Amino acid sequence: MIMLAVNPRGVTRAEGGSRDAWSVTTTLQGVRVTCLASDPRREGVVFAGTHGDGVLRSDDAGRTWRSVGMEGRIVKALAADPVSVGTLYAGTKPASVFVTRNDGARWDELEGFARVRRWFWMSPAEPPDRRPYVQGLGVSPTDPDVIVAGIEFGGVVRSEDGGVTWHGHLRGADRDCHSLTFHGSDGNWVYEAGGGGPAYSRDGGSTWRHTVEGLHGRYCWAVAADPVRPEVWYVSAAPFMAFPHVTRTPVAHHDGIAHAAIYRSSGGAPWERLSGGLPQPLDHMSYGLATHPEMPGHLFAGMANGEAWRSRDHGETWEQLPFTMGRISRTLVVL
């Protein structure tokens, strides 16, 4: 098993299987990595988005990397087309969407996306530069013409024609998108973790339902879904201000006082807080949640302080894996 996560120094790579045989290395040292995405059609192929160094690709599960274009751009989100090999979408700052259909030999901007941009798309997350950016991208595994994009503090938009035209914000989705993904095999299901709560779609992103019942905090960050049961999905969440006398920014981003938890929902049922060995509450936010297509029931969580946790039973019980990934700032990929 291989786990990859974004850290402030590059990409952390953990490889192992048995309890005492894990090795942890840092690749892309000195590169400001912003996101990761695996290619569902090609084993070991992973892409990294960066702050100014474009898109990087690894063909050996994160050991080595090479540039595949978009140099000079800030790439905040990536999504590999699960149907068409060689097609990759990139969301950027300022908010735009680009596509390559030949493994990075050429990138084209999806100009129709610019027509759904709104003046109020302005992120408070990265002062003083408040330009909006695409934080989440998803491509349907059953209809590659269907693409969904989430803008942090902006909205969630959708294309039905491969990105030529886009529908404006989809009612019911959360406007403050932090993570967004389609189910790995069922194109009807799409999931979002937003600053105002989680949301999901059961019709390929056409309509959405915002669901917060059972959550003890609505500020959500990571999202994942079981590979076999699409109705079972997970989010990490925290109160926006658990300690207003300490900080007026989201406590999720403050190590030691994140006051966070991981939750599970099944088919729209109220959220269940997962414990079974996990610290209660989590002092460090889970910036990465991941499942694996060949491991139904398994859920992996990467914490801000570098801890990695695994559940084999849909989050009922947990074990802490015997290594640290240093610090996880965004995205967890399991290969």
* DSSP structure string for 155-223: EEEEESSTTSS-B---BTB-SSEEEEEE-SS-TT-EEEEETTEEEEESSTTSS-EE--TT-S--EEEEE
The hierarchical CATH code for the domain 2-334 is 2.130.10.10
pLDDT of residue 118: 75
- Strands laid side by side in the 96-100 sheet: 74-80, 88-93, 96-100, 108-109
The β-bridge partners of 219 are 238
pLDDT of residue 243: 53
Q: What is the pLDDT of residues 269-290, one digit of tens each?
A: 999 999 999 999 999 999 999 9
Mean pLDDT of 150-158: 95
The share of the chain scoring above pLDDT 90, in percent, equals 87
The pLDDT value recorded for residue 249 is 74
Which amino acid is residue 97, in one-letter code?
A: V
Instruction: State the pLDDT confidence band at 319, using cuts at 50, 70 and 90.
Output: very high
Higher pLDDT, 114 or 127: 114
- The SS3 of residue 92 is strand
Query: pLDDT tens for residues 123-136?
Result: 766 666 778 999 99
pLDDT at 196: 95
How much is the pLDDT for 125?
66
Return the higher-pLDDT residue of 18 and 56: 56
Over residues 192-225, the pLDDT tens digits come to 999 999 999 999 999 999 999 999 999 999 999 9
Whole-number pLDDT of residue 240:
81
Q: What is the pLDDT of residue 119?
A: 62
Q: Which residues pair with 332 in a beta bridge?
A: 5
Domain boundaries, the chain: 2-334
pLDDT of 111 higher than 60: yes
Contact 191, 198 (CB under 8 A): yes
The residues facing 180 across adjacent strands are 192
Strand pairing category for 23-27 and 96-100: unpaired
CA distances from 315 to 108, 150, 291, 309, 318 (A): 41, 27, 11, 10, 7
Closest CA to 197 of 208, 207, 211: 211
Where is 282: in which H helix or E strand?
A: none
What does the pLDDT read at residue 176? 95
The answer to whether residues 252 and 277 touch, using CB atoms and an 8 Å cutoff, is no
pLDDT at 242 over 60: no
Whole-angstrom distance, CA of residue 64 vs CA of residue 28: 8
Which residue did the predictor score with more confidence, 241 or 222? 222
In tens, the pLDDT along 72-108 reads: 999 999 999 999 999 999 999 999 999 999 999 999 9
How many whole angstroms separate alpha carbon 8 and alpha carbon 123? 21
Strand order in the sheet with 209-210: 177-182, 190-194, 197-201, 209-210
Could you report the per-residue pLDDT of 37-82, keeping only the tens digit for each?
Answer: 999 999 999 999 999 999 999 999 999 999 999 999 999 999 999 9
